[in-house]
Amino acid sequence: MGETSCTGRALEVQGLTRAFGVRKALDGVEFELPDGAFLSIFGPNGAGKTTLVKILTTLLNPSAGTAKVCGLDVVTDAVELRHRIGLISHNPLLYPDLTAEENLLFFAEMYGIPQATERVRDLLESVELDHRRLDITRTFSRGMLQRLSIARALLHKPDILFLDEPYSGLDPHAMDILDSLIAQIRGDHTFVMISHDLTKGLELCSHALILANGRVVLFDEKDAIDEGAFRETYRSTVGMGVA
Amino acid sequence: MAGSSWRQFKAILRKDLVMELRTHEMITSMGLYAILTMVVYQIALTEAGEALDVRLVMPGLIWVAFIFMSLLGLNRSFVHEKDQGCIDALLLSPVDRPVIFFAKSAGNLLFLLVVELLSLPVFAFLFLQGREGITNPIWLLGVVMFAASVGISGVGTLLATMTVNTTGKDILLAVVFVPLMYPLLRAAVGATFAAIIGGPGSVETFWAWMTWIAGFDVIMLLIAFGLYEFVIGA
Amino acid sequence: MNRTKIARLVLVLGGMLTTAAFLMTFFWANPSLLPDGRVDFSQKIFYFHVPVAEASFLVFFFTALYGVKFLLTKDRRYDMRAKIATEVTLFFVLLTMATGILWTKVAWGVWWQWEPRLTTYFIMTLLVIAYFVLRNSVEDEEKRAVYAAAFGILAFIDAPISFFITRWAESIHPVVLAGGKSSGLEAPMLITFIIAQIGMLMLGYAFYEMRLHEEELKERLEALKVKVGG
């Protein structure tokens, strides 16, 4: 397991609740994740996976409970925390009318990255897009967009990467590239991934979490998990699903 | 912190300018809309013919064109951000939310002013030839255009941030935006009228209306600034 | 006594006061006959129109106030209160418009006149309607509440403008609450007017409380459903 600059725990979540009115998107979620781990979050639609990640990435505030990412509170230390996290989503989060380079330079400005030009060049090279750096991203294939979006997420050298179903909509080739990119950076990042794909999610993770109806149904290290029983638990939650 | 906010402000504004210069999306649609409006005005005014001094209704016609034109630009400016979820990436970055508000407002103000400045001479060319000229100094017109456009862009940016997340965003923006803008538009028409028609006391009247506009700008921008963090975070 | 019972009592009292004021206009407060000796019915509208208009401004203020409170606390109950306050505002605003138009026809000879008070009040009507259009266009409950709060605060700005416009701009609309002696109401008229105003405010409060109670019951039912449903 790798090391990041987060000393100790990457995630500490206590009694995390998110509710508006009577329906609770999250209901007393608790777990801790060690630094350098790879967490896969499973659960049916409406289980609260996206809400959980939005809270951990400071985009939403919890209604009750606390969450610390890298030891930083998601509410009170939000601004500092934003320097430490990156997000790779199934949506590229890039401006289609800007070139690859302009997109990265823009976000480099938002993060206040020193020597942005060099950093952007290096990243474009590492995701093998330097030959397309002056093309607007509207012309990019899905796989190229995903690679560029990984470069965007890595710009400010975050400690924790959040992946929101990064594999959805990718062709097999693009999936392979994403696999190898994740393998490359796995050593010095903590990962939190939302996934619908049990096989993929289990293959990558060191820890697994199943959410249903905003509650933690199962949380464990992968080594302690019996895959058959795990699949059975997952299947039973899909039934309780979309409440 | 102030330094980084200023840098972020410039980055967002520059990004919007680069995208606009590349696509010409807003300027073209707003400009075409302005010309279409003038064609419609021609239809509206045609039966009145020489009996009507167009100068008397011109201030109103100008602002009607400007306000509806601004709706187009405001809508577009957030569709860009929403398209591929860019707004989330923006919110994930360590940027103070009001910086986004000011940068987006500034961009919208710039585009609006450009189209206003381009369409005004066309308007004069099509409707005012052979009429008496403007009696007061022409820069007065610039003052009211700038001041009113500041209010339009500021409040419009806040409202567009909301309506981009709703069903039927374009229509809804008009429904919430136009009545809110009434006091500003009324004063802008008053000031423009005083500037164009002139006559004794017109400069005083102009500045009296300008006080209204300035008051509206200050109050509404302060409120919009205060509300922005809540709205964009929702 | 709980809030609902108080609200019902206030509703009855408010109804009685406004009715009493209406009757008083015929028998006590200056029956001001027309030159030919007939009763001047148009003048009676004043005792309904003005109180309901004043009440609409006041209730609209609560839309903005609860909007602010909601944004500061994110407590859904304030959103509900803001929404209900705006419902009552809409009801009062429509009553004001209806009675105003009747009076305008008699007093000014036209149904509608674009003069400052009427125009700004018309804008306020549109804003109140827009508030509900906005609410209905937002799917997500929390977004809806935040947007409605923000818009309610912005929209309320028109209320003081409309209220004071007859004092600032040249308006042919009478200034009723001018303060001091300039309102020119004789004692019986003034007393009748005050009774009508108090009655109207009580009605506003009662409508608000009863709607709130209804919504709270709905809410409790929802909560029970969620509980039972697991």
What is chain B's alpha carbon radius of gyration, rounded to the nearest angstrom? Answer: 19
**Quick check: is C132 in a domain?**
yes
In a domain, C175, yes or no: yes
Residues B142-185: pLDDT tens digits?
Answer: 999 999 999 999 999 999 999 998 887 789 999 999 999 999 99
For chain B, the structural domain boundaries read 2-232
ipTM score assigned to the predicted complex: 0.92
Going through chain C in order, the beta strands assigned E by DSSP cover: none
A2 pLDDT band (50/70/90 cuts)?
Answer: very low
Q: Which long-range contacts does B134-139 make (Cβ < 8 Å, 24+ apart)?
A: B134/B195, B134/B196, B134/B198, B135/B196, B135/B197, B135/B198, B135/B199, B135/B202, B136/B194, B136/B195, B136/B196, B136/B198, B136/B202, B136/B203, B136/B206
Q: Provide the token pair at B35.
A: 């010309």
Q: Any alpha helices (H) in C157-186, and if so which ranges?
A: 158-168
Segments of chain C scoring below 70 in pLDDT: 1, 29-41, 176-185, 230
In angstroms, rounded to a whole number, what is the distance separating the alpha carbons of residues C230 and B167?
31
Note whether residue C226 is domain-resident: no
Quick: pLDDT tens for B27-67. Answer: 999 999 999 999 999 999 888 877 888 888 999 999 999 99
Neighbours of C171 (CB within 10 A): 16
* Lateral strand order in the sheet of A85-89: A85-89, A160-164, A190-194, A38-42, A207-212, A215-221
Residues whose CB falls within 8 Å of the CB of residue A234, separated by 6 or more in sequence, listed in order: A42, A198, A210
3-state secondary structure A97-163: CCEHHHHHHHHHHHHCCCCHHHHHHHHHHHCCCHHHCCCEHHHCCHHHHHHHHHHHHHCCCCCEEEE
Instruction: With beta carbons under 8 A apart, name residues in chain A contacting B15.
Output: 95, 98, 102, 106
Q: Which of residues 121-180 of C touch B (CB under 8 A)?
A: 123, 126-127, 130, 133-134, 137-140, 142-143, 146-147, 149-151, 153-155, 157-158, 161
Domains in chain C: how many in total?
Answer: 1
Q: Is C162 inside a domain boundary?
A: yes
What pLDDT shows up at residue A240?
A: 57
Predicted confidence at residue C189, as pLDDT, reads: 78
Q: Which of A85, A102, A152 sits opposite B18 (nearest CB)?
A: A102
Kind plus residue range of the DSSP H or E element containing B19: helix B2-23
Query: Average of pLDDT values for B100-106?
Result: 96
Most confident of A22-31, A86-95, A231-240, B107-116: B107-116
Contacts of A63 in chain C (CB under 8 A): 74
Of C74, C142, C219, the CB nearest to A22: C219
**Which helix (H) or strand (E) covers residue C15, if one does?**
helix C3-27
Interface membership of A93 toward B (CB under 8 Å):
yes
What DSSP character marks residue C33? B
Over the range A147-165, which residues count as b (16 or more CB within 10 Å of their CB) and which as e? bbbbbbbbbbebbbbbbbb
Long-range contacts from C190-194, C-beta under 8 angstroms, 24+ separation: C191/C29, C192/C21, C192/C24, C192/C25, C192/C28, C192/C29, C192/C47, C193/C21, C193/C29, C193/C46, C193/C47, C193/C50, C193/C51
Q: How confident is the model at residue A241 (pLDDT cuts 50, 70, 90)?
A: very low
Segments forming the whole domain that contains residue C124: 3-33+40-220
Say if the Cβ atoms of B15 and A82 lie within 8 Å: no
Token look-up 């997500």 returns C140
Q: Least CA distance to B95: which residue of chain A? A: A110
> Is C144 inside a domain boundary?
yes
Find chain A residues with C-beta within 8 A of B10's C-beta. 109
Closest alpha carbon to B106 in B231, B3, B232, B15: B15
Q: pTM here?
A: 0.91
Q: Provide the CATH number for the domain around residue C49.
A: 1.20.120
| Contact partners, residue B175, CB within 8 Å, separation at least 6 | C130, C133, C134
Q: What is the overall mean pLDDT for chain A? A: 88
Whether residues B88 and A93 touch (CB distance < 8 A) is answered with yes
